[in-house]
Amino acid sequence: MIEHLLPEQIEQRSFEIIDGELKKRGIVLPKEQEMITKRVIHTTADFEYTDTLTFSEGAVGIARELLKKGADIVTDTNMALSGINKRSLAGLGGEVHCYMADETVAKLARERGTTRAAVSMEIAAKIQKPVIFAVGNAPTALIQIYEMMQGSDWRPAFVIGVPVGFVNVEAAKELILQTDVPFIINRGRKGGSNVAAAIVNVLMRKIGVRTQKRAMIATMVCSVVLVTLLGTLAGANAVIAPIVIPLVAAVGITPSALAVIFQGAGQTGLF
């Protein structure tokens, strides 16, 4: 039977179905991991992830703390690059990188007889800040990360390892599971760039909400103070708007929402 739903109701209904299926199967997910596993199921319609998605101890909290402090993300496909919410990441001070289409990477891979994914990981290891590696396609990316760890003191801050396929996929994931690096790994052959992007986005979600709230509160306070000091709403907004607009845009606050904040806070300051 076709369900007639509004567009904004479809996702909510999907999660209701997922919750029902989990209950029917007698599956209770660990609280910390619940939203990530459900989001991956939502992305793939595959409940096998409840068995295969593997988290190191405290993985979700560690990843969120890294993101909160502005960690960058490196991925092995442009598809994952496109799927990751770059505005939310920028609002946290991070940036997402994918070197797969870089001509230098392609040239080095040909010369060495290796994959572009492997060379990309070498380049990414030079980034001078904490990096979360989100691998959704190439097992050679995970193998390269593991080999660099064995050959030096370098360590990635976090690894999301969900490549999909048949050749070396399972073995590459198992290598990362042997390390002391915090991880979210999907055991077995399944995964994909869409899964990698989904995991990153859900990790950022609650952080982004808190960041937006902090930005809104800071904007309101600044507006109230300036209006009180200057005695004019228009004058205060003229001072603060050029500074605030690009900052709040980075955390997803729209100009129309900002205008409402200015108006409300400004009127408060005039009383």
Identify the CA nearest to 251 among candidates 225, 223, 217.
217
pLDDT of amino acid 212: 54
Q: What integer pLDDT is reported at residue 80 of this predicted model?
A: 96
Q: What is the pLDDT of residue 224?
A: 63
**Could you tell me which of 122, 97, 98 has the C-alpha nearest to residue 109?**
122
pLDDT at 231: 63
Residue of 164, 120, 170 lying closest to 145 (CA atoms): 120
β-strand pairing of 131-135 with 53-55: unpaired
Query: Which pLDDT score, from 0 to 100, does residue 209 have?
Result: 45
Q: Which residues of the chain have pLDDT under 70?
A: 208-271
Pairing of β 183-186 and β 131-135 = unpaired
Contact between 132 and 71 under an 8 Å Cβ cutoff? The reply is yes
Helix (H) or strand (E) holding 83: helix 78-83
Question: Using CA atoms, how far apart are residues 55 and 228, in angstroms rounded to an integer?
Answer: 51
* pLDDT score at 257: 60
97 is catalytic: no
Q: What is the pLDDT of residue 6?
A: 86
CB atoms near residue 92 (< 10 Å): 20
Catalytically annotated residue among 42, 64, 155, 189: 42
- Residue 206: CB partners within 8 Å, gap ≥ 6? 64
Mean of the per-residue pLDDT values of the chain = 87
Cβ burial 121-142 (10 Å sphere, 16+ → b, else e): bbebbeeeebbbbbbbbbbbbb
Cα–Cα distance, 20 to 18 (Å, whole number):
5
Report which secondary-structure segment, H or E, holds 88: helix 86-91
Among 66, 22, 24, 18, CA closest to 184: 66
Q: What is the pLDDT of residue 53?
A: 98
